[in-house]
Amino acid sequence: MKPEDVIREMYAAFGAKDEARLHELLAPDIQWNQCPGFPGGARRRGVADEIAGVLGKNHELWRGFGISITELLPSDQSVVVLGHYHGTHAETGKPMRADFAHVYRVEGGQVTRFDQITDTAPMVEAMSA
């Protein structure tokens, strides 16, 4: 599978909350780096940490949390994805739309590294009372 196909499959698995498929697509020792200002963001290591801290946290904080991809740019073993997050904050009821760039490293058919660049200001604003 091409790196860009792995990434497309990974986003589909996230959207479906398919943890079994994520365990297939993410390397066991994946390095997952979120922006420090991203709500619940952290540097994570390993599939279990990533699933609990990212998949679970996003759906806990946001109703209707989702990702819209505007462009997918493959390059050898790396894939850059441009798009935006959207959802409504669970406590304040305020909507958000935040632009992102995701940079992935894919080796042997699995994602081994993720680096996030996100405009977190819309998220922080939606979280403010």
Domain range summary for the chain, segments of one domain joined by +: 3-127
- For residues 33 and 116, the answer to whether their CB atoms sit within 8 Å is yes
Candidate from 74-78, 79-83, 101-105 with smallest mean pLDDT: 74-78
Q: Which two tokens stand for residue 37?
A: 């200002």
Average pLDDT taken over every residue of the chain: 93
Q: Please determine, looking at this structure, whether the domain spanning 3-127 carries the CATH number 3.10.450.50.
A: yes
pLDDT exceeding 90 applies to what percent of the chain? 78
What confidence tens digit (pLDDT) does each residue in 18-47 have? 999 999 999 999 999 999 888 888 899 999
What confidence tens digit (pLDDT) does each residue in 43-68 have? 999 998 888 888 777 878 899 999 99
Q: CB within 8 A of 48, min separation 6: which ones? A: none
Residue 117: pLDDT over 90: yes
Mean per-residue pLDDT for 84-104?
97
Burial grade of 42 (CB within 10 A; 0-12, 13-18, 19 or more): middle
pLDDT at residue 59, as a whole number:
79
pLDDT at residue 12, as a whole number:
95
